[in-house]
Amino acid sequence: MQNPGSLMSLNGVDMAIVALYFVVVLAIGFYLKRFTKTGNDFFMAGREMTSWVAGLSFVAANLGALELMGWAASSYQYGILAAHWYWIGAIPAMLFLAIVMMPFYYISKTHSVPGYLQLRYGNSSRSLSALCFGVMTVLMSGINMYSMALVLKVVLGWDIHFSIWVSSITVALYVALGGLLSAIFNEVLQFVLIWLGALLIPIIGLIEAGGWGNMVAKIQQNFQGDYTHLWRSIGSFSDNPMGIHWTGIVFGLGAVLSMGYWTTDFLVVQRVLAAKDLRSAKMAPIIGAGFKMMVPFIVILPGLLGLAVMPGLVGEAEALATGGHSYNEVLPLMMGRYLGPGLLGLGITALIAGFMSGMAGNVSAFATVWTYDIYKPLRKKPLSDGHFVSVGRWCTILGVLVSIGTAYLVMEFASIMDYVQALFSFFIAPLFPTVLLGMLWKRTTSAGGFWGLLAGTVSSIGMWIWVKVDPSALRIIALSPGAKAMAENMYRGLWSCLICAGVTIAVSLLTKPKPESALNGLVRSCTVLPSEKHLTLFRRPAFWAGVVFVVFVFLNVLFW
């Protein structure tokens, strides 16, 4: 189980904290099994969640080991520019989901985003999006496995295979037992544990660095370039560590990838669809956005502190060649630096909780899409509701097993987040215009939706292959020959989105649309939305969305 050369080992108290966590999550799964009798219970948590529970789960499903490890590594690699993925790369999209798109998801009573596409466009679009989502989900699950195993290997010396299998089996059990209901309740628990454990590192690290000002000064001494400002260094491709221009951040990230992820990735949308009513469903992303703005303080700040106190970390391939540490390991290295007995147990539990949160989110969403959007359409004869619950449980276990194999793909990328953003540019960026045009333009046709989605997906993968075969193509794709992988992902996502939108519009204008009577509840101009005039100002989702947006603008100005 344990190898020599670890940074530290757990004492009895630390081990007890970790063991207690495993017992609690399994107990929740076994307890909630009695409440998951129907498909609606298993796949949609009975649609009984309050706005706060749905909102916290909405954020926690995205706050996995991927977030903790990946963005700490990216902030070491790119500086505070990584915070863009939390602010401009999340907040506007979450608010847009709440105010504009959520009513159509909720009113249509769909089980999934591919399910909405089936209602709006037909089976061909549903099948294509479901297949893409299934592939992306199992690949993403592998990231969470790799991240957690890396933490336990570096910090504790635990065997990587032991770490993967024990935690994976735990996730498979509690999600298979309680479905989305179990996943949501465990995600709320994990959200609290992640904050309790992860907040220790930035607090202790800032004390060692001597505060924010001294940390910035040390980074400037250790590295050339601007690592500590959000906007002032991205007026030119050559003035920032990412090699990106502000157009890539604003349009590639803010207008395409983030909108695509937060509004069409069923992993997060599924949590909101479990809300008990439309107002709760609209409030959940707004509550989630409020918490999301605070997450950089536990994931971005540790990477910045690493730049100040631990210079010299390198990319994954160089680390494997030289035997050194990569910036993928910056978070566990910081844990080893700051956390002693007792606190280490809490910190390790937080990371395991993050792994399980991300993993559970992926497998529960995968089980729903596979069962309702791939398996069910293939079965011609009617089957019982209990049959689909059984299929969902077995699909959960199968998804975990397939995900284990994908964990090793991560090692081929310089950083975890480069891998993730590449996947988003393949499968999420083209999906956003497909869904958005379907909701807002009644003239969009079934043929337009399918061919636009296919063209956007194929073009994105094609651009990635082009750069791999001919690196000079980066000058065309990312508008700069010196762009890093993350910048390339942003522009590739932008181009694939525009290609998808262009093909969708062109094909729609040449084909026959559905009658307006078939678009009620699916398209804005054909749907009468419930009025909120009877609600007081402080109960209206639009008011709280405005409050969150004002705070978002303030943070961007503060760290300009």
pLDDT for 41: 57
Structure tokens at 338: 């700051």
Q: Are the CB atoms for 299 and 36 separated by under 8 Å?
A: no
Instruction: Tell me the C-alpha distance between 544 and 258, whole Å.
Output: 20
Q: Which of 1, 40, 4, 33 lies closest to 18 in space, CA to CA?
A: 1
Instruction: Tell me the C-alpha distance between 12 and 406, whole Å.
Output: 33
User: Which residues pair with residue 49 across a beta bridge?
Assistant: 275
Q: Are the CB atoms for 91 and 549 separated by under 8 Å?
A: yes
Q: Which of 170, 158, 86, 205 lies closest to 348 in space, CA to CA?
A: 158
Q: Are the CB atoms for 51 and 280 separated by under 8 Å?
A: yes
pLDDT for 3: 47
pLDDT for 154: 62
Q: Which domains does the chain have, with CATH numbers?
A: 12-30+48-558 (1.20.1730.10)
pLDDT for 47: 63
Q: Are the CB atoms for 496 and 430 separated by under 8 Å?
A: yes
pLDDT for 1: 42
The vertex-96 CA angle with 106 and 521, nearest 5°, equals 30
Q: Which of 109, 62, 72 lies closest to 289 in space, CA to CA?
A: 62
DSSP string, 413-432: SSSHHHHHHHHHHHHTTTHH
Structure tokens at 46: 């009975």
Low-confidence spans in the chain with pLDDT less than 50: 1-5
Cα-Cα end-to-end distance for the chain:
47
Between the alpha carbon of residue 466 and those of residues 127, 413, 472, 485, 498, the distances in Å are 27, 17, 9, 14, 18
User: Which residues pair with residue 314 across a beta bridge?
Assistant: 326
**Where do we find the tokens 């498909």?**
39
